[in-house]
Structure 1
């Protein structure tokens, strides 16, 4: 016969297991490096992969371009892709990482030649909270925004309860990707931001 104590222990155990399952369901690898550029430039027919070494001089230029935004991580190197469709240049796909609350979030940012965000996609999410930012319905709000926008909650993007730090990480990462594109590919060109 099932006693009250056993029943309550079973109920509490099931509740904890159900909660833990949902907690870790947010973490995971969602895109590989090979899939990343196509996620932000699905119309592209060719990608040229480049690895940019992060020198102290490059970091200094990027920080100057980022203004008040301070990266939580400086990568040793940045993987970028030049996206093309036929002979037409579509833009840059840049893989960056930023700390959410405790752990890095890896994502790819697509930046058009006119300094607008083409798209953003989460590659690896390691946090137990804030996983809502990986959903397409959330990420599509970045499309078409100028890289000069703040990308902060309640300023230029919607906020999501429980994901504020992840949204801030996305803002820093988008700014970092845009600064890399400006410093490496567009330095000295007209129309800089």
Structure 2
């Protein structure tokens, strides 16, 4: 009986403690860009989010993106995006590289939730390689989820689709006279 009381007291004490913030940095921004562009020297750019592009991004995310513009890096055919998107309670920072054939690389740079961090594992991230935009700016392929990480998987997929939309806008802008 004393063990049960002690356990209940510990559980009660744990419930009153403030929630802790988890932040796992998996990859830095410079390391992500080096991984994407290797020996090439990418140019940095700022893409304003307005008009039809803002509407497309809002549709893909399911909510308005809070920024007015996004920084990105690019060469003639490849762009890299670093985007924060809310998972459950906290934002995660995702890096996505897009080339002519779709997603080239997807990395979780920073993960801030106590659960669902398995989305940074290579077996999960590899699923996005080669994906393009399908109908209604949805990803062209299915993503197998991870038990206990549904919200993180959804957030990662939204960011992947958003990067594809943004890449398309940049590439169409580059080909305009």
Question: TM-score, normalised to structure 2's length?
Answer: 0.75
Q: CA deviation at 1:76?
A: 3.7
| Residue 55 to residue 157, structure 1, CA distance change in 2 (3 Å) | closer
Residue matched to 1:103: 90
Q: Which blocks of at least 5 consecutive residues in structure 1 are unaligned?
A: 18-22, 84-88
What is the alpha-carbon distance in structure 2 between the residues aligned to residue 142 and residue 62 of structure 1? 23
| 2:41 partner SS | strand
Q: CA deviation at 1:184?
A: 2.5
Runs of 4+ in structure 1 off by over 4 angstroms are: 6-10, 23-26
1:52 to 46, 53, 62: 46
Q: CA deviation at 1:151?
A: 4.3
1:147-162 → structure 2 map (5 Å cutoff) = 147-148=133-134, 150-151=138-139, 156-162=142-148
What is the alpha-carbon distance in structure 1 between the residues aligned to residue 174 and residue 44 of structure 2? 20
| Residue 126 to residue 49, structure 1, CA distance change in 2 (3 Å) | farther
After superposition, the C-alpha distances for 1:128-148 in whole angstroms (9 at most, x for unaligned) are 221111111110111112233
Residue matched to 1:70: 61
Query: Per residue, is there more helix in 1 or in 2?
Result: 2
Question: TM-score, normalised to structure 1's length?
Answer: 0.69
Q: Which blocks of at least 5 consecutive residues in structure 2 are unaligned?
A: none
Instruction: Count residues with an aligned counterpart.
Output: 169
After superposition, the C-alpha distances for 1:66-122 in whole angstroms (9 at most, x for unaligned) are 584235433343221225xxxxx55111111211111111111110123x1111001
| 2:78 partner SS | strand
1:139-150 → structure 2 map (5 Å cutoff) = 139-148=125-134, 150=138
| Residue 178 to residue 55, structure 1, CA distance change in 2 (3 Å) | same
What is the alpha-carbon distance in structure 2 between the residues aligned to residue 165 and residue 38 of structure 1? 29
| Residue 141 to residue 55, structure 1, CA distance change in 2 (3 Å) | closer
| Residue 24 to residue 129, structure 1, CA distance change in 2 (3 Å) | farther
- The answer (yes or no) to whether the contact 2:132–2:139 under 8 Å persists in 1 is no
| 2:45 partner SS | strand
What is the alpha-carbon distance in structure 1 between the residues aligned to residue 145 and residue 119 of structure 2? 10
